[in-house]
Amino acid sequence: MKKLLSLFLCICFFVPVLPVSAEAPLELSAKSALLMESSTGKILFEKASHEALPPASVTKIMTMLLVMEALDCGQYTLDDLVPVSAHAASMGGSQVFLEENEQMSVHDMLKAVAVASGNDAAVALAEFTAGSHQGFVDKMNQRAKELGMNDTNFINCNGLDEAGHVTSANDIALMSREIMRHPKIFEYTTIWMDSLRNGSFGLVNTNKLVRFYQGATGLKTGSTSVAGFCISATAKRDNMDLIAVVMGAPTSKERFADATKMLDYGFANYGICSSLVKDDELAPLTVKKGIEDTVEIGLAEGFSLLMEKSKIANMEKTISLPDHVGAPIHKNHKVGYVEFFSEGKSVGKCDIVAKKDIKAENPWGMMKRIASYYFHGK
């Protein structure tokens, strides 16, 4: 075991040593806001983040999430045609003017929801997915509970104002983080301009950050007279994904300004690197009673460690490994760990694992090995 002072650029994301949300120097116009790093779920800034408020069309993040999950499980495909009911066609507010009995592919319906925030398209997808709008809303609330969205109660799938239809900046970040596990959604949320109906109906993204903010990947805007101006804005730079949620901003301009402030703050103060541990620091381990004498080792996949940029230079690490391991060994089996420190405090651990299977040597193989050493010295 040894402790080395090191400055490394990491595969992984750095996790803040201390809470920063209360001290973040941000002044926002919104009633409620939150900034989250996606891979770790770490909150970097928050303002009244658990206050239950009407979310307007940001609601559609949950709608799109359930559609993506239905696609993933094979319930339907992007090419399947979605019929439009009288109820779906009757939706007001932002819409793509679907007509009763019209049909449109799941792909185009998703585009209508993600880009143009079509209330009618959202209801059509909901009915196609769950058989009825109410059945789909029940699924939305069930999924919200599964994600720990404890401030949320959905009444509809599109965010039109209804009494009791509320969520919070914290909960929007949670469902935004979940839909980001489906990278296919970014093919829709990053569209700036497109069209439907063979080019006859134009679409322009309601999220202006998609065009004007470096690294923007989505996600969804919303606004009503009751909700004010809302957004869940996502962006990616240097392999770090941030989620900036704004609820109840006074104007559209202030909504985008608040989201931009939070994203800028996150990217300016938190960093990403390419390697926390050098290859020569993880030499192969000796294997006892295996068909091979050594096994290659490395850091476990999926490890995320987030940290303020100003503290990276003073980061230290301790690598803990045994002298040997016994066979059999399975790929990704934990053989040790590395622990990271900043200012003397532990900021995270990552397992060190075997990179391949090593079978145990059978008795006949062991006898041959003993004989080889005895007669040939090797």
The model's pTM is 0.85
Gap between the Cα atoms of 289 and 366, Å rounded? 8
Do 111 and 183 have their domain in common? yes
Q: Which of 211, 240, 269 is the last residue of a domain?
A: 269
Show the domain range for 342. 2-10+275-376
The whole-number pLDDT of residue 121 equals: 98
Do 48 and 136 have their domain in common? yes
Do 229 and 287 have their domain in common? no
Is residue 8 predicted with pLDDT exceeding 60?
no
Is residue 284 predicted with pLDDT exceeding 70?
yes
CATH number at residue 323: 2.60.410.10
CATH number at residue 211: 3.40.710.10
Q: What value does the mean pLDDT take over residues 184-189?
A: 98
Do 219 and 73 have their domain in common? yes
Q: Which of 229, 252, 269 is the last residue of a domain?
A: 269
pLDDT digits (tens, 9 = 90+) for 107-127: 999 999 999 999 999 999 999
Write down the mean pLDDT value for the chain: 90
The whole-number pLDDT of residue 275 equals: 63
Do 243 and 345 have their domain in common? no
Gap between the Cα atoms of 356 and 297, Å rounded? 8
Do 222 and 330 have their domain in common? no
Gap between the Cα atoms of 54 and 153, Å rounded? 10
CA distance readout (Å), 75 to 56, 106, 142? 28, 12, 18
pLDDT digits (tens, 9 = 90+) for 43-76: 999 999 999 999 999 999 999 999 999 999 999 9
Number of domains observed in the structure of the chain = 2
Nearby residues of 76 by Cβ (< 8 Å), 6 or more positions away: 70, 106, 128, 129
Token pair in block for residue 325: 């391991």
The residues that are catalytic are 57, 60, 117
Q: What value does the mean pLDDT take over residues 292-321?
A: 87
Confidence of residue 11 (pLDDT cuts 50, 70, 90): very low
How would you classify the pairing of strands 240-249 and 32-37? antiparallel
Could you tell me what percent of the chain has a pLDDT over 90? 77
pLDDT digits (tens, 9 = 90+) for 158-182: 999 999 999 999 999 999 999 999 9
Q: Which range among 95-99, 110-114, 147-151, 350-354 shows the weakest confidence by mean pLDDT?
A: 350-354
Q: Which range among 6-10, 232-236, 355-359, 364-368 shows the weakest confidence by mean pLDDT?
A: 6-10
Do 213 and 256 have their domain in common? yes
Do 265 and 279 have their domain in common? no
Is residue 1 predicted with pLDDT exceeding 70?
no
Do 304 and 197 have their domain in common? no
Q: DSSP 3-state assignment of 90? A: coil
Gap between the Cα atoms of 66 and 229, Å rounded? 24
Choose between 275 and 34: higher pLDDT: 34
Q: b or e along 201-239 (b: 16 or more beta carbons within 10 Å of the residue's beta carbon)?
A: eebebbbbbbeebeebbbbbbbbbeebbbbbbbbbbeee
- Supply φ then ψ for residue 350, to 5 degrees: -135, 135
Q: What is the DSSP string of 1-30?
A: -EEEE----EEEEPPPSS--TTT-----SS
R_g over Cα of the chain = 26
Q: How far is CA 270 from the centre of its chain?
A: 17
Do 61 and 159 have their domain in common? yes
Choose between 24 and 285: higher pLDDT: 285
**144: how many CB neighbours lie within 10 A of its CB?**
21
Do 100 and 231 have their domain in common? yes
**367: how many CB neighbours lie within 10 A of its CB?**
11
The whole-number pLDDT of residue 10 equals: 38
CB 7 within 8 A of CB 313: yes
Q: Which of 269, 294, 310 is the last residue of a domain?
A: 269
Is residue 156 predicted with pLDDT exceeding 90?
yes
Is residue 365 predicted with pLDDT exceeding 90?
no
Do 53 and 132 have their domain in common? yes
Of 19, 50, 44, which is closest to residue 32 (Cα–Cα)? 50
- In the block, tokens 């541990």 appear at 277
Enter the DSSP assignment of 170.
H
Q: DSSP 3-state assignment of 154? A: coil
